[in-house]
């Protein structure tokens, strides 16, 4: 069909996008297209093991307790209004999914079985097949979309947003044969997931290359909280990739974390950032590359967690007798494209939901099993806003950081003030960072630790504290990208003849070493140089068109999102939630703010 006939083009096929597509087509009879770079059922949603967190049994639980747990995990940067929407509307969305045919685990009396996971004060997480929740959610939604969508574009790769007259009107894309096409629609919804493939060790599928976030950045759409990358503490330490995930529910049922000496070292039910950082500290102190998850005390493991049990036995591990080697792995991008409470971005006609979005729900760290719920809640909210004729964002949710930023810190404290033209309701503070990619020299303005204004290159500071200026082609002045000339300035460079796979692996090593669980100013500068090398090498390997174009475009998307992560992480001179700086180990009241890149 002609893409111009679409009322809504959904980019991505995870829970957020498919939930929105079903509601748009079934409830409002919109002409909906879904564009995905793989099969319709191939998304990060199907890898989700933990479950969906929602208050379905109200005694002794309540939505107020769910809200409090979410705010606590978010380390001061959640938007309470957005969290309230999540916890209040979540139970209804779960019931709707059950009505579509999703089969969650039930007890002998037919009641939904609930599990407790890290950061939750009570058991409120529903599962399917023990640890196959994402696959079941995806199955139910895919079937519904196949019945109702007007157009499904499988194996199509979105390259950039189409913007005309200050409004998004679709995307430029490659079709399955590599041909350049345009898919036009009155509205586009980014639900392309996160950027877990920025890191060498990740639970995310190979498709998680931050495509939607990168497209938004290049179009000048506001992005925030991108420095907060959640590392899951119990990914199986094994050569397979994406790393098999040992669900949070194992620890909720009593599995224990032990160090190389067999000693416990952390409360296993703390939020993920706390546990991952504790693991990293132990691994560094003991000179090991993993710790142990002891699940030998769990009863009926095979019946309760059949998917995990089968995966463990496939690599020769028996959870009944073996301690399981685990280590942190990149798991979730907490920030993304800034939206208001109905999914509107700073570009009219463009909407976002799910892991690609920054709604204000997660703040500095996502509470376990809130991710599927967020997609199920905010994807459909965008559809309702489109149906109601909403054009452009309102100063609600995380969008207040763009349209209504206020002073950071506790009420009554002094701060850096709102963004230009801002006005509206109180929220956490905000600061604007200028993002220009690695293809041009731009400035990033913010306040230094002593309160004075400072401008740094968008590339970040070098290890010795000096700035690096980029040429228009993305390389610093010198013989090689990264400045100074010579291979010594490109520690993560890949031989161009090795192709995109080697370039991508080098980029992942740079980000893992420099912008992983624990960061420093010097390590972030090294990561920046790795990103420059990757961009230089990707462009040298071939232009982003024709055969092999998608592989090159994915690297360039990873570079753009990685640069945003490094830029924001460099500016955030504190440790908060999923962001840990060794030289700034404590949170700062004056940095209780949202860093907005535009």
- Calculate the alpha carbon distances from 361 to 258, 336, 344, 470 in Å: 32, 12, 15, 35
* Beta-carbon contacts of residue 397 (< 8 Å; ≥ 6 apart): 79, 81, 82, 85, 339, 340, 341, 359, 360
Quote the strand ranges of 451-521, DSSP E: 453-457
Instruction: DSSP for 303-348, please give it.
Output: HH-HHHHHHHHHTT--TTT--EEEEEEEEEE--EEE--TT-B-SST
**Distance (Å, rounded) from C-alpha 387 to C-alpha 384?**
5
Q: Which residues contact 501 (CB under 8 A, 6 or more apart)?
A: 551
- Distance, CA of 226 to CA of 333 (rounded, Å): 7
Give the C-alpha separation, 382 to 18, whole Å.
12
Q: Residue 298 in contact with residue 264, Cβ under 8 Å?
A: no
Angle at 197 between CA 163 and CA 69, to 5 degrees: 90
> Given 31, 272, 490, 572, which residue is catalytic?
272
At residue 132, the 3 state secondary structure works out as coil
Task: Quote the tokens at residue 448.
Answer: 């230094």
Please answer whether residues 184 and 3 qualify as being in contact, where contact means their C-beta atoms are separated by less than 8 angstroms: yes
Instruction: State the Cα–Cα distance between residues 338 and 212, nearest whole angstrom.
Output: 12
CA distance 198 to 341: 28
List the structure tokens of 14: 């995870």
CA–CA gap between residue 271 and residue 294 (Å, rounded): 19
Per the structure block, which two tokens stand in for 595? 């860093």
272: annotated active-site residue:
yes
Q: Which residues are designated catalytic?
A: 272
């Amino acid at each position: 069909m002609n893409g111009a006939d679409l009322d809504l083009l959904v980019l991505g096929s995870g829970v957020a996008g498919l939930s929105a597509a079903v509601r748009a087509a079934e409830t409002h009879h919109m002409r909906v297209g879904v564009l995905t770079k793989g099969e319709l059922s191939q998304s990060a949603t199907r890898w989700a093991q933990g479950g969906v967190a929602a208050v379905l049994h109200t005694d002794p639980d309540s939505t107020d307790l769910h809200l409090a747990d979410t705010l606590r995990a978010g380390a001061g940067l959640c938007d309470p209004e957005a969290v309230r929407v999540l916890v209040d509307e979540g139970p209804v969305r779960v019931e709707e999914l059950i009505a579509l045919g999703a089969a969650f685990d039930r007890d002998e009396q037919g009641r939904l079985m609930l599990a407790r996971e890290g950061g939750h004060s009570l058991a409120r997480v529903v599962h399917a097949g023990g640890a196959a929740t994402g696959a079941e959610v995806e199955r139910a939604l895919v079937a519904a979309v196949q019945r109702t969508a007007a157009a499904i574009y499988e194996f199509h790769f979105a390259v950039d947003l189409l913007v005309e007259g200050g409004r998004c009107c679709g995307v430029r894309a490659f079709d399955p044969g590599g041909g350049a096409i345009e898919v036009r629609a009155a509205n586009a919804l980014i639900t392309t997931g996160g950027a877990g493939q920025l890191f060498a060790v990740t639970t995310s599928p190979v498709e998680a290359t931050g495509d939607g976030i990168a497209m938004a950045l290049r179009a000048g759409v506001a992005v925030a909280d991108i420095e907060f990358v959640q590392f899951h503490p119990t990914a199986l330490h094994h050569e397979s990739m994406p790393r098999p995930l040992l669900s949070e529910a194992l620890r909720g049922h009593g599995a224990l974390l032990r160090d190389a000496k067999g000693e416990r070292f952390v409360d296993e039910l703390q939020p993920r950032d706390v546990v991952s950082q504790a693991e990293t500290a132990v691994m560094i102190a003991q000179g090991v590359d993993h710790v142990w998850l002891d699940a030998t005390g769990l009863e009926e493991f095979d019946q309760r967690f059949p998917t995990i049990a089968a995966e463990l036995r496939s690599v020769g591990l028996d959870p009944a007798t073996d301690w399981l080697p685990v280590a942190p792995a990149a798991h979730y991008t907490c920030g993304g494209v800034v939206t208001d409470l109905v999914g509107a971005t700073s570009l009219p006609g463009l909407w976002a939901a799910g892991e690609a979005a920054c709604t204000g729900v997660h703040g500095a760290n996502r509470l376990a099993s809130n991710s599927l719920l967020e997609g199920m809640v905010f994807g459909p909210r965008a559809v309702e806003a489109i149906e109601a004729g909403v054009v452009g964002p309102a100063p609600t949710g995380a969008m207040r950081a763009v349209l209504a930023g206020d002073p950071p810190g506790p009420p009554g404290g002094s701060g850096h003030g709102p963004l230009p033209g801002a006005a509206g309701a109180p929220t956490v503070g905000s600061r604007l960072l200028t993002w220009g990619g690695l293809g041009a020299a731009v400035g990033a303005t913010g306040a230094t630790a002593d309160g004075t204004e400072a401008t740094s290159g968008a590339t970040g500071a070098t290890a010795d504290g000096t700035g690096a200026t980029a040429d228009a082609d993305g390389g610093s002045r010198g013989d090689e990208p990264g400045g100074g000339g010579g291979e010594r300035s490109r520690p993560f460079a890949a031989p161009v003849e090795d192709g995109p796979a080697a370039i991508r692996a080098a980029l992942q090593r740079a980000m893992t070493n420099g912008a992983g669980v624990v960061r420093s100013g010097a390590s972030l500068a090294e990561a920046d140089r790795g990103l420059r090398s990757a961009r230089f090498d990707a462009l040298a390997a071939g232009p982003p068109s024709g055969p092999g174009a998608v592989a090159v475009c994915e690297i360039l998307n990873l570079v753009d999102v990685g640069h945003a992560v490094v830029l924001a992480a460099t500016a955030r001179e504190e440790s908060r939630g999923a962001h840990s700086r060794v030289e700034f180990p404590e949170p700062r009241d004056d940095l209780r703010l949202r860093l907005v890149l535009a």
